[in-house]
């Protein structure tokens, strides 16, 4: 897995790293792995769809969806109005684990709340998939892409 110097320079500028920070970033094999895999996701939309929900304080229901661009940024204009960090925390490793989520045998994740039967409040289960940009509202994605180009979140 070879990452070009131009790509490393892009990430250094994008992340605002000093030379010392960039050296640490490059020494970590996980960073190189993610940097190497990121281009394959840039023209994709990552979708987490709620497939089971009970007792969810954020009121997520089966069929609710969370959309992310290929870099892992939440596309808020396409998502439910309330965003629960506990529901979304597990997505990262599934996404950058090195497999195409559409090919994974186990592509479901749950929120960190274990539900009332285990001492929590509620619980949801979500299924991960990756779609081409064109399958999602182009207007919203174009807006998100413009925001990313201008450094907006």
Write the CA distances from 3 to 15, 28, 38, 70, 138, integer angstroms.
Answer: 17, 13, 11, 18, 30
Q: What is the pLDDT of residues 94-119, one digit of tens each?
A: 665 555 666 767 788 888 888 888 99
**pTM as predicted:** 0.71
**In which band, very low, low, confident or very high, does the pLDDT at 147 lie, cut at 50, 70 and 90?**
very low
- CA dihedral of residues 138, 51, 111, 92 (deg, nearest 10): -40
Q: Which residues pair with 130 in a beta bridge?
A: 46
Q: What is the pLDDT of residues 54-71, one digit of tens each?
A: 999 999 999 999 998 887
Cα separation, 77 vs 69, in Å, equals 12
Across the chain, mean pLDDT equals 81
């Amino acid at each position: 897995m070879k990452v070009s110097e131009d790509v490393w320079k892009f990430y250094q500028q994008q992340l605002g790293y000093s030379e010392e920070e960039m050296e640490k970033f490059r020494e970590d094999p996980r960073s190189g792995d993610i940097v190497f895999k990121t281009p394959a996701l840039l023209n994709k939309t990552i979708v987490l769809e709620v497939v089971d929900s009970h007792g969810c304080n954020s009121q997520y229901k089966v069929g609710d969806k969370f959309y992310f661009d290929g870099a892992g940024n939440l596309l808020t204009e396409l998502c439910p109005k309330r965003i629960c960090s506990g529901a979304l925390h597990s997505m990262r490793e599934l996404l950058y684990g090195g497999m195409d989520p559409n090919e994974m045998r186990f592509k479901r994740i749950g929120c960190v709340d274990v539900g009332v039967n285990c001492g929590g409040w509620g619980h949801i289960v979500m299924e991960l998939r990756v779609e081409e940009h064109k399958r999602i509202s182009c207007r919203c994605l174009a807006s998100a892409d413009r925001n990313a180009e201008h450094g907006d979140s």
